[in-house]
Amino acid sequence: MKDVAAAAGVAQSTVSRILNDAPVRIRVSDATRERVHAIAAELGYRPHPFARALRGAPSMLLGAVVRDITDPFFAEAIEAMSVECDKRGYSVVLGHAHAKADEALALTAVLETRHCDAIVLVGDFYGERRLVEDLRSAPLPVVALWHGSERHGRPFPTVAVDAAAGINAALDHLTSLGHRRIAYVGGATRYVIRDREVAYQEYLAAAGLPQAEGYICHVPNTIGGGELGLSTLLGLVQRPTAILAATDTLAFGLIHAAAARGIGVPAQLSIVGFDDIQLAAGTVPSLTTVRMPITEMVAAGVELAVGDAGWLSSDGQPPPRVVFQPTLIVRNSTGPVAPES
Amino acid sequence: MKDVAAAAGVAQSTVSRILNDAPVRIRVSDATRERVHAIAAELGYRPHPFARALRGAPSMLLGAVVRDITDPFFAEAIEAMSVECDKRGYSVVLGHAHAKADEALALTAVLETRHCDAIVLVGDFYGERRLVEDLRSAPLPVVALWHGSERHGRPFPTVAVDAAAGINAALDHLTSLGHRRIAYVGGATRYVIRDREVAYQEYLAAAGLPQAEGYICHVPNTIGGGELGLSTLLGLVQRPTAILAATDTLAFGLIHAAAARGIGVPAQLSIVGFDDIQLAAGTVPSLTTVRMPITEMVAAGVELAVGDAGWLSSDGQPPPRVVFQPTLIVRNSTGPVAPES
DNA sequence: TTGTAAGCGTTATCAT
DNA sequence: ATGATAACGCTTACAA
């Protein structure tokens, strides 16, 4: 910019005013403006973001702390966030949430803090008390996406999905197909997963369906976890005729394990997933699952984080919580209960 | 930092020296050092990255421009990059490669340029001439991962996989099972995909296998593309007994479409993928595919980008190219050729 | 051993 | 209508 000013024979401040279309725009002579613009273009001038940020301008960086980008669902969420941020001129900085030690995780997050205008937490951070504490006292907006229900407290503005609505739709579908012995497979810890489990339990209780203890199966959220879940459930005296999986990844594992054992899906066993990842349409059979409006949810989260609603200032109120409705996508992994099972 | 200096009753420069463990470390009195450290900790002092960067220090930001994070393979690559960068104290800034217009894409990338110490391109950028040109003239290191073979020129230091080795291993496996009519399904444009296609053609030629024109099937890299590929290939007079897919996503689509048509895999049709994404172990049947050493490749790429080897300075030489070897993972989607097919 | 001061690229506030 | 200058937070010669 110094060079531009020198080449144009004007002061830096003039160049700054012109290039920023300052509020006092009308008060700069057209001749000078054009000359400066031309020279700036010719010299290939680019503003230096750090210098601006040093002056207090927003860094246009949004921190995204994701538990596991490898999870196809979160990958889609990040994709959506990248698109949404791009629209607003922001860039996404990936926070790293894989550190084993709480300390390291917190440290990483705090580092992000320095660069970014806001932080978006994607997925819940059960067990990361330290991280959450540090972020609570951080001087920037923090927004949580898919952070589990308010049952578990709500430290930040939150965007969530109505887990009960999704689970109810899935279970309505299964019961309408005649299923009564419906098992559940899901992770044991994450808030957002526990919400689905609770909704499952409440539905069963309300509908008077059998709630055998073994019908709730806690496994890691992987293909292997799904396989483990199936073999556990097959060991029960009263085998379920349908299984509700907390995530599509688990449903994949269930389908895979069923096929390996020669159990027909959906002829002998119906399976429902949750997430509707892109590959859910490509399983054999294709997966009946619950879809969430990822794009809209992410957009809402980004708006809370860097939008001009000024959430941080409303000190007295509890942080806002935006809830979206999921949709059941019926494909071919569910069918009528087998007469003789 | 000013506050720390004031509270400690010393000059800023002293604080800076102490907190940075400056080279002159030994020349600061221990008493002062401890006092400053204590006060800094008490005040919760954090260095301001922008101010440092303004002074010429590295921003510790690495730009990752990915074509499509939704692709499970790239998601795994980004995950690996996040881990690798974390080790080195870097953060990953996501570049957005979804813009339709070449202009917009280039602009976005140039913006990244201002923040980051280096850029890593993940996947090839066929057709993005403008982006590549802008990046070539950028004053920072640019490294390309999975950018396709040098057949297409090599504007940047590159980390690639030996596509021919992977394809050869897959085809050796198929031919050893008795297959001779082997088709190929893959995208028509990406360099990195074309490498696989070329390797397929060369293998067929060298092995004297039939190269029916219809055996090469160009489709979009999606589940639907795989389904399309299968229906096209089934329309041929001489149906293939095995299909080599350029990516696991396509292989998923092929398996799905085969099941939908009642074609047994691998009894009637063998299918091989490429990438070994995590879900490849969970298909029905599980997928035989080619695995690349993602972690090592990403680590090599990050090293080229921000390591201290100083690649940029070697002006005369062509940029380095690091090639990794893939491995065939044999699962259950391949089997002996059917006697009567 | 420590303090002073200049400068990184911008923008805002005064002057002129 | 434009120019000079200070300030953002930090590092680093150079001076003391």
Three-state secondary structure readout of A247-297 = CHHHHHHHHHHHHHCCCCCCCCCEEECCECCHHHHHCCCCCEEEECCHHHH
Alpha-carbon distances, residue A53 vs A305, B48, B255, B309 (angstroms): 18, 10, 52, 31
Q: How many CA atoms lie within 13 A of A68 on its CB side?
A: 11
CATH architecture of the domain with range A163-292: 3-Layer(aba) Sandwich (3.40)
Domain with CATH 3.40.50.2300 in chain B: 61-162+293-324, 163-292
> Which one has a higher pLDDT value, A126 or A181?
A181
User: Across chain A, what does the average pLDDT equal?
Assistant: 89
Using the predicted structure, report yes or no on whether residue A334 has a pLDDT greater than 90: yes
- What's the CATH number for A61-162+293-324? 3.40.50.2300
Residue B288: DSSP 8-state:
B
Q: Which nucleotides of D are covered by protein (CB under 7 A)?
A: 1-5, 7-13
- Predicted pLDDT at B341: 44
Using the predicted structure, report yes or no on whether residue A104 has a pLDDT greater than 70: no
Tell me the chain A residues in contact with residue B92 when contact means C-beta distances shorter than 8 Å. Answer: 93-94
Chain A: nearest CA to B209, how far in angstroms? Answer: 31
What pLDDT, in 10s, does the model give residues B90-149? 999 998 766 555 556 666 666 667 789 999 999 987 777 777 887 888 888 999 999 887
Q: Percentage of chain A with pLDDT > 90?
A: 65
Indicate yes or no: CB of A279 within 8 angstroms of CB of B108: no
- The helix/strand/coil state of A160 is strand
Strand C closer than 7 Å to the CB of A312? no
User: Residue length, chain B?
Assistant: 341
B48, B76, B253: residue with CB nearest A282: B253
How crowded is residue A279: how many other Cβ atoms within 10 Å of its Cβ?
A: 24
pTM equals 0.93
B79, B95, B249: residue with CB nearest A70: B79
Indicate yes or no: CB of B49 within 8 angstroms of CB of A278: no
d(CA A118, CA A157): 12
- Mean pLDDT, residues A311-322 taken together: 70
- Predicted pLDDT at A101: 53
- Predicted pLDDT at B262: 96
CB distance A248 to A293 below 8 Å? no
- Predicted pLDDT at B318: 76
Strand C closer than 7 Å to the CB of A22? yes
A75, A255, A282: residue with CB nearest B69: A75
- Reading the block at residue A13, the tokens are 């401040």
Using the predicted structure, report yes or no on whether residue B1 has a pLDDT greater than 90: no
d(CA B219, CA A283): 19
- Predicted pLDDT at A328: 98
Domain with CATH 1.10.260.40 in chain A: 2-46
DSSP states of B79-136 as a string?
HHHHHHHHHTT-EEEEEE---SSHHHHHHHHHHHHHH-SEEEEES--TT-HHHHHHHH
Q: What amino acid occupies position B77?
A: A
- Closest of A134, A126, A111, A110 to residue A187, by C-alpha: A126
d(CA A66, CA A74): 8
Q: What amino acid occupies position B70?
A: T
Task: Please name the fold of domain A2-46.
Answer: 434 Repressor (Amino-terminal Domain) (1.10.260)
pLDDT confidence bin for A73, thresholds 50/70/90: very high
d(CA B182, CA B92): 41
User: Across chain B, what does the average pLDDT equal?
Assistant: 89
- Mean pLDDT, residues B156-162 taken together: 94
- Closest of A107, A60, A111, A54 to residue B52, by C-alpha: A54
Q: How many CA atoms lie within 13 A of A154 on its CB side?
A: 17
- Predicted pLDDT at B132: 80
- Predicted pLDDT at B21: 81
d(CA B98, CA B101): 9
